[in-house]
Amino acid sequence: MDGHTDSSPSWCLGAPLEQLPTPALTLDQEKMRRNAERMQERCRSLGLRLRPHVKTHKTLEGAELATGGTRRGIVVSTLAEARFFAAGGFDDILYAYPLPASRLEECATLAQRLQAFQVLLDNPQALELLRQRPLPGGKRWLVWLKLDCGNGRAGVSPTDPNSLALARAIAEETPEKVTLVGVYAHCGNTYSCRDVPSIQAIARATTAAVLDFVTALRQAGVPCPQATIGSTPSCSHPVPEMAQLTELHPGNYIFYDLQQSQVGSCQLEDVAIRVLTRVIGHYPHRNQLLVDCGWAALSLHGQNQGPAGCATIEGHPQLRLVGLTQEHGLVEAVGGQMDFERFPLGSLLALIPYHACATAAMHPVYYVHAEGKVVELWRPVRGW
């Protein structure tokens, strides 16, 4: 393996996973395909359009899989993602981030380039920015209003009269310049759940809040064509009321992760992502193994539960992570003596990460495997 680097990993194609340089992010091709197809089927059964979020994987291949090969109707979190997917042939891209004044020109370039580049806002100042920057050539700003239905991040309250006024202002702006496409809510508060009934209660409440807002708009004579909600937990266990929406926008479900299994979105066997790591040290005097995966290959998300919260060690419930530095991990035996002979130097362990989005952000290449061998290399976009 000497001389091989992540900047040119093509030699890995066809190689068994055991030969990969570690730490390495691996993806199970069959699990990803199954996860994507299940979400597509959920949306079909509800009569809804799936607009997958691409921020977890940030790859053309992942978005191709999530869109069923259509390359239309995705959600991005960064303008770097928007440019990357536009260059890759994707259209109908929603930049689901409060419109940043400092990057309005970048948005305008994308809006002129694509058939449907859409922006999101949650304040009158952002609308004023669009008024002051009309698009040439008959193009219109396509705008979604962000609602906060309990997530507590961005968005306006659907019960605040000022929110209705803002939606009206967007809709009544000169139609050839600005168009209200719809309303958008992220039910990220589902991540506080630990079972399916509580996930579905939040999904039901979010759906009701969005639909009540749309009804109030229409009663006031304000057209609002689209209504979308999304989070991987809520979309993994949709409720019938969601059929009254027009779109869903989950993202993490292609990979899933340890957190999603704990929340109740999936079973552990649905999780497609692993980080491979090797044992590089034995320390009997402190009953620990040293592995070559630190937080730089895993992230520290989940550490509020202790280092073991960042990942679980697949197939070895007797082992747990007890410490992470930038490039090292410490592993102990749970309540007993470490069997060092069972884990010789160079032996491979597979970590199931707590948060796939955070872990994937640490890696320049993903190794997609089938039947134990690398079959694809996915390279994500980086930056903002």
354 and 300 Cβ atoms separated by less than 8 Å? no
Among 271, 269, 280, residue whose Cα is nearest residue 22 = 280
Which tokens sit at 17?
């996973």
* Other Cβ atoms within 10 Å of 272 Cβ, number: 24
Q: What is the pLDDT of residue 2?
A: 38
Q: Which residues pair with 156 in a beta bridge?
A: 147
User: Side by side, which strands form the sheet with 226-230?
Assistant: 49-50, 247-248, 226-230, 178-186, 141-147, 117-121, 91-98, 72-76
Please identify which residue in the block is written with the tokens 């069972």: 342
Hey, what are 200's tokens? Answer: 């579905």
pLDDT of residue 24: 98
Cβ–Cβ < 8 Å for 93, 71: no
Report how far residue 4's alpha carbon sits from residue 286's, in angstroms, rounded to the nearest whole number.
33
Q: Would you list the DSSP string of 147-173?
A: E-SS--SSSB-TT-HHHHHHHHHHHHS
Q: Dig out the tokens for 270 from the structure.
A: 């649905």
Q: At what angle do helices 79-87 and 104-113 cross, to 10 degrees?
A: 20
Look at residues 245, 257, 277 and name the one whose alpha carbon lies nearest to residue 353: 257
pLDDT at 184: 98
Cα three-residue angle 5-376-277, rounded to 5 degrees: 50
**CA-to-CA distance for 278 and 346, rounded, in angstroms?**
5
pLDDT in tens, the chain (384 residues): 333 444 568 899 999 999 999 999 999 999 999 999 999 999 999 999 999 999 999 999 999 999 999 999 999 999 999 999 999 999 999 999 999 999 999 999 999 999 999 999 999 999 999 999 999 988 999 999 999 999 999 999 999 999 999 999 999 887 779 999 999 999 999 999 999 999 999 999 999 999 999 999 999 999 999 999 999 999 999 999 999 999 999 999 999 999 999 999 999 999 999 999 999 999 999 999 999 999 999 999 999 988 999 999 999 999 999 999 999 999 999 988 999 999 999 999 999 999 999 999 999 999 999 999 999 999 999 999
Q: Which two tokens stand for residue 158?
A: 């659907």
Spell out where 90-201 has E strands.
Answer: 91-98, 117-121, 141-147, 178-186
- Distance (Å, whole) CA 203 – CA 381: 31
Residue 162 to residue 245: CA distance in whole angstroms: 23
Confidence at residue 7, expressed as pLDDT on a 0 to 100 scale: 52
Q: What is the pLDDT of residue 49?
A: 98
pLDDT at 8 (0 to 100): 62
pLDDT at position 335: 86
pTM listed for this prediction: 0.94
Distance from C-alpha of 233 to C-alpha of 45, rounded to nearest angstrom: 17
